[in-house]
Amino acid sequence: MLIFLHGSDGYRLKENVDTIVDAYNKKHKSGMSHYRFDLGPVRGKTPPEAASADYAFKASRTSNGMEWDKNYSNFESALKSVSFFDEAKLIIVKNPFSAGRALSNKLASLTGDLEVTADKKTVLVFVENRTEKELKKTDKDLFDFLTVKPNLIRTINYLEGTKLSNWVRGKFKENGQSISPPVAGLLIDRVGNESWALANEISKLCNYSTRIARYECAHTNAVSSRSITSEDVELLVSRKEDDSIFDLVDAVGSQNKAKAFEMLYRLTNSGHDPHYLLVMLVYHFENLLSVSDGSTPKYLHPFVARKAASQARKFSKEGLLSKFNHLAELDVASKNGLVNLEDALYNFVVV
């Protein structure tokens, strides 16, 4: 079986791949016949050099602990190999169109010769984060080969309108939260339809709403249930052009105290709410904690995860927990009127 996933929406492409992998893992427990390959170019190398069979480099670790193999000869061996324990093989190949025409022709010939389409014991998944127009321009022959029947083809481009709103509301539901269509529309208006960015903001809003519910429950002794509100979105989600807040959290995460102090001064003097800055810092340290053990949460964009992992290494695990707990204490103290939050944030970024 050959499956071809392509389109502009990288996050939803990843969701589709994860769904295929999860279904495979439930049926085949050993994981011995599951392979991942990335035929994209190595940084600083042209596609033909990157795709050379004798060229391999250390792959980046994926969210489930497996690594992306960059060696084409290993892909060829996996395709020809006999499955362990009579299991079906699952072979995922990213960026086949980046490998250069010579290699893509070889790849098409290889899969054709092995009759992968008719082989029920082999599931070969090709993944490209580009549009049909871009792929045809890059290598029309390979595109035609991958889209011929009976291959399973799914085009995954950015959503718009009601479909995008329903997807956003579905992501909140997955996290045990609810959001009305108007509030979902406000979130989309602020963020746009880029799904990685939306997923990060949805995670932030869900974490915030959970903390508020726990706080209310602790102080009223009653079960607290709440929906995401427009006030939450306006407090937590900056518009796309507001990059200075990210400069602040990056400076704090990089332990650049002078830059952090400067950015905090600029933000507070331009009228930014200290509570919003606090929430952004809390969210950032949650991300640092989540990657500190080497794992990558599904909601984090790979670029964000790599940057967070780099910053997390500047702290000990105890140091990260101490910073996070300090911010949580400021949150409670400020709501009870026990501290001047703006002054407390200045102390936090320079300590």
**What pTM does this model have?**
0.64
Q: CA-CA distance, 212 to 84, in Å (whole number)?
A: 49
Say whether pLDDT at 220 is over 50: yes
Domain boundary among 155, 190, 211: 155
- 310 alpha-carbon distance from chain centroid: 16
- On whether both 175 and 301 belong to a single domain, the answer is yes
Do 196 and 256 belong together in one domain? yes
Domain boundary among 155, 171, 191: 155
Same domain membership, residue 236 and residue 128: no
Q: Tokens 């871009």 appear where? A: 134
Q: Are residues 210 and 311 in the same domain?
A: yes
Same domain as 134, residue 43: yes
Residue 278: give its domain's CATH number.
1.20.272.10
Q: Are residues 143 and 184 in the same domain?
A: no
Q: Per-residue pLDDT tens for 98-135?
A: 877 777 778 778 777 767 777 778 888 999 988 999 99
Residues 39 and 14 grouped into a single domain = yes
Please, where are the H alpha helices in 30-130? Answer: 47-50, 72-80, 101-113
Tens digit of each residue's pLDDT (9 = 90 or more) over 8-63:
998 999 999 999 999 988 887 776 778 888 877 544 343 333 333 322 222 333 33
Phi, psi for 31 (deg, rounded to 5): 70, 10
Q: Are residues 149 and 80 in the same domain?
A: yes
Say yes or no to pLDDT of 85 above 80: no
pLDDT, tens digit (0-9, with 9 covering 90-100), for 150-194: 889 999 999 998 999 999 999 999 988 999 999 999 999 888 888
Q: Answer yes or no: do 136 and 213 share one domain.
A: no
**What is the domain extent for residue 141?**
2-155
Residue 301 pLDDT > 80, yes or no?
Answer: no
Domain count, the chain: 2
Cα angle 21, 24, 28; round to 5: 135
- 94: CB partners within 8 A, 6+ apart: 36, 37, 38, 39, 40, 68, 127, 128
CB of 297 within 8 A of CB of 64?
A: no
Spatial distance between the Cα atoms of 277 and 268, rounded to a whole number of angstroms: 9
Task: Say which CATH number the domain at 135 has.
Answer: 3.40.50.300
Domain match, 151 and 185 both: no
**CA separation, residue 32 to residues 26, 27, 38, 186 (Å):** 13, 12, 18, 46
Last residue of a domain, one of 155, 189, 210: 155
Residues 86 and 179 in one domain: no
pLDDT(253) > 80: yes
Question: Same domain for 174 and 312?
Answer: yes
**For position 221, what pLDDT does the model report?**
62
